[in-house]
Structures are given as structure tokens and as C-alpha cells.
Structure 1
Amino acid sequence: MSTENPVIGLLGIGEMGGNMARELTGAGFRVVSVLTGRSRESVGRAKEAGIEDAADLTSLVAACDILFSVLPPAVAQEEARAVADCLRDAPKPLIFVEGNAISPVLVREIADLFDDTPATFVDGGIVGQPPKDGKVPRLYLSGTGSEMLDVLDGPAFEIVHLGDCIGDASGFKMVYASQTKGHNALLTAGFVAAERMGLLEAFIAELKRSQPGFLTKAETNIPRLPADAGRWVREMEEIRDTYEALGLTGGFHEGAAAMMRLLANSPFGHETRRTRDTSRGMVETVRALAPQAANENRRSER
């Protein structure tokens, strides 16, 4: 691997991956991905970021020194298996960074796929918003060899090392997201429940007096959630699995997964971060969710 100017491969060109790529290319790194089969939005994001197109996964693996997997958690294992298969015939080693929101148990299963390959497997957990306007997320890393990624520290993320144990970085991501995204799910449930009982206006008035921070967070975040909820259903389930593996209840985040599913199936579930209706407020969002929640509850009872 070129230690000074490695070629970066990217699995996934969502908002996080695309913004990471833009910052890395702006800092002088080559970033490569497979664009065939991507959505129009992803291809546009790739072009904006200066991502080079690889013909297929085999070509991508051969071209890069570091390969980041930043995908919806539901496809993380499948994509990692495909990469591991390509690596068995790869002309050179690479560093594979598993950067998805998955449980420590699953990340260890994925790491096992790379045992007979020339790859260095690094566990990663991204905390924070996609890099923009000089603000970058933290990339928590664990695993032997993670220090080789320090060459990338700065433009797209701030690297934080957690040691040599595969699973620690993913575990850190899980407990962090359990509080942030998990709390957003609970906030949404509370507001929908208030609306279902005809108490939404009174609920808002009381929060304004006694818990203004909760109200501000709800007004800011609830309208945004449908754009991400489809991906976050599985993330909440991964958090559930993480808690249960530690002997803690997974019930909190089983419920959070159900709320994300409700949001994803709502009239706003087709939105993306780029296409969402920014004029729609929290109250309008909640009032659209309330009857849907009742319908889904009736379906689950059948």
C-alpha cells in the first residue's frame, strides 16, 4: 500500500460516503467506486465528489489500497462476502474498513470472511453528520493495523483509535446510536401517541414550559426522519442484538425499529435527504403518522 497517497475504494455512495469522497478528493486522494447499477442520485453524488468509476467489484478491489464499506446495515455482510471472494485472487493486499452500523457479533462474523485473504480487516464506527463546511464526523477504529489509516485523518473524518479488538468500534457506534437515533424514535412515538389521544397541542404547550430542549429536538428531527428511516430499521435491530448479547433488554430498540418502520412506510418515506420537503413541520408530520400507526396496529393484531 502507498502510505503517503493511498487509493481509496468506496462501497456505498450515500450521503455519508459521497461527502467523505468529496473531502478526500479535495485533499488530493483518488477515490474509486463501482457506479454501474447505482441510482441516478448516487451517480450524481459520485460525479460531484470526483469519484472514479470502476468497471466492477473485481476492478475496484484491484485498484484500491483502502476499501471503505459504508452501506445500509442490511447489505453489509453480503457485500463483504463478495469483496472477500474477490480478494482471494487479488494482485495486492488492501485494508478493508467495515464502517457500517452493525453489532459487534455481526462485525466479528464479517471479519471471519477475510481470514484467508490478503486483507487487513479494521472495524469502524462513524459518529456524527457527513463532513461539510469544515465539520467532520469521528471515525472510531479498532483492530490490529488500524493505525495505517492515520494518513486519512483530517479532511473527511477525525480518527479515534479504540485498540486492537474487532467489535469495539462497532460496539461504540451501537451504544452512541442507541441514544441519538433511539431517542428520536421515542420522541416520535410520544408525539404520535399524544396526537392519537387528541392531546398534541396540550403536550406541546407543556413541553414548551418544562422541557423546551425535547420540543426543539422534536421540531428539528421528526420531519427529517422519514428520509433515513428505511435504513435505520435494521440499525435499530442491530442495537437490539448488541444489548441482548450483553444481557440487557433489546425491547427499547425493537420498539425503535417499529417506529422507524412506521416512518419509512409513511407518505414521506420516499424522501431522501436531498429531496425531502423542508417546509413540512413536526406537527404536520406527526398528524400524518397518527392514523397510519392505528392502521399498522390493526394489521399486526390480525
Structure 2
Amino acid sequence: MTPKRRVPVPWPAVASALYAAALLAHPLIPNTPGNLGSLVETFLPWSAVAILPLLAHALLRRSAPALFAVLLPTLAWLTLFGTTLTDKAEPGGDLTVVSHNVGADNPDPAATARALAATGAQIIAVQELSDATRDAFRRALPARYRHHTVQGGVGLWSTYRMTAAEPVDIMPWPRALRATLTTPKGPVTVYVAHLASVRVTPGSGFTTTARDTAADLLADAIDQDPSARTLVLGDFNGTTTDRGLSPLFHDTTSAHRAAGAGFGFTWPAAFPLTRIDHILTRGLRPTSATTLPTTGSDHLPVTASFTF
């Protein structure tokens, strides 16, 4: 009796199909245990790297079916991030802002302050201010930024008159502020925030509880704010794809998503892997957004321009 011929399982094709499905269904990845879903979503843009071995296998085998199978995850990735790669900036803008986690251990905060001011931005928001960094900023920034407020570790400097500056309670110690700026085209409310840090540990996984709670409190404050024009700037320790920060993004527009080019990764500055520093708006239209050159911080600064 002739034995039946075994048909080999097309593992590369199966892997490609499963990978494509996982990309499109990432919201279904459970967040317990260890906030796995949030962790995957934080680095989701880098999932394109997994396509490379599938493509290499198809090319080495000179297999047309394998090459066709690689199209599945490629198209899935492009569905998620294809528009991110295009340059959506346009010239002009009535208002330019800069936001930067300046780093508590910044060796030259005065140089950082001068670099931010050199952008010509009317608004400079900073996070992770130490006492020394705060004093250096006050001395180094030009006189045109005479309107300012510092609440704990976050600060706001502006060329426009500032009123109603106050802390926003998102953590047990000051990590957020709110202020109203009087611009030539009307008032703009500005929030500056530094959400709680996150860690990846073997025992606890991706620890985001404190950050997510702070994000919820900040989102509640913004939702209840009657201001017609609002900016939200800061280090959120999370990405726009991270479900843990979805309350912050559901009623605001990311300037980089709307008017940037590429992923605009901001951390770590030496080799950026993810974008955790953001500029959001409600009631203003972004015209451009980008990162700025490295300073003495482990974050890159971000900047954006808007029209009213």
C-alpha cells in the first residue's frame, strides 16, 4: 500500500496571516495580566520589523506564494500607519508652541532654555523642572517670555499675558497646570502636564496604573473646561496608540498626527523608540508639527504651529 504523501504546512504563509490578524486586532489583546495590551500598543509602529524575516524567507525561497503572503501583514501595517508616513505640514500659522521634558539632570538647562526660545515660539511648556533648572530657565529665557508660572515640576512661559494660572490635581504632588493666555486673536487655555512614569518589570509587567489614573483626571479637567480654544502639552509617558491614554485623545487632536511627518519619536533622545511627548488641541487647527534637535535632556523637544 502506497503511503499518503504529507503536504507540508506553509508556515511562513500561516505566520503572515496570523501576524496581519494580530496587527488589525490589537485592541482585543487583553490588558491583564501586566497591561500587555498597552505595552504592545506603545511599540506598535515597530511591528514592521517582524515583516523583514518573512520577506527574507520568501526571497531566499524564490516563492511567489510566500511573497504574496507577506503582503498581508504589510497591508495591515500600512492600514494602521500609512498616513503617518506622509508629510501633512503646511506653511503659516498664527501660534507656535514648544513643549519639552527638560530633564531633572540636564547638565546645561540654560542652553536648553535658549534653544527653545530660538524657535520663536510664543509658548514654551516644560516638564521635570528641578529647583536648579527652574532658576536657570528664568535667567536664560529672553525678556519677551515675561509671563510665566511654575507649578511643582511643570512650567509655562509665554509672550502673551497670562491669567488664572493654577495647578491641576492629577497626582498627590503638582504635575500639571492650567493657565489662560490672552492672544491677539482671543484667549487660549493651556494645560501642561507630566504624567506618572511607567516601568516594565518581570513581576508586575507594564506598570501603568498611576499614569492611567492621572490621564483620567487630566481628561476630566479638560472635558469640563468651557474654553473654546485649548492646548494640552507635556510628557504623557505613553503614545497615542496606548489604550490607557485614550481618555486624553478622544476629544482632542494630536498636532503631530494632523500636521506632522513620520512617527516623531521623542524618547530616548539618543535613539528615539517611541513618542511620549505630545501637543494636543481642541478648537485650533494644526498646520505643522515636528521634533527639535536634542538638548541636554533624555527627551526630544516637540513643536507645533496652529491657526485660529
Q: TM-score, normalised by structure 2?
A: 0.32
Q: TM-score, normalised by structure 1?
A: 0.33
The answer to which structure has the higher strand fraction is 2
If asked which structure has higher relative contact order (CA below 8 Å, sep 6+), I would say 2
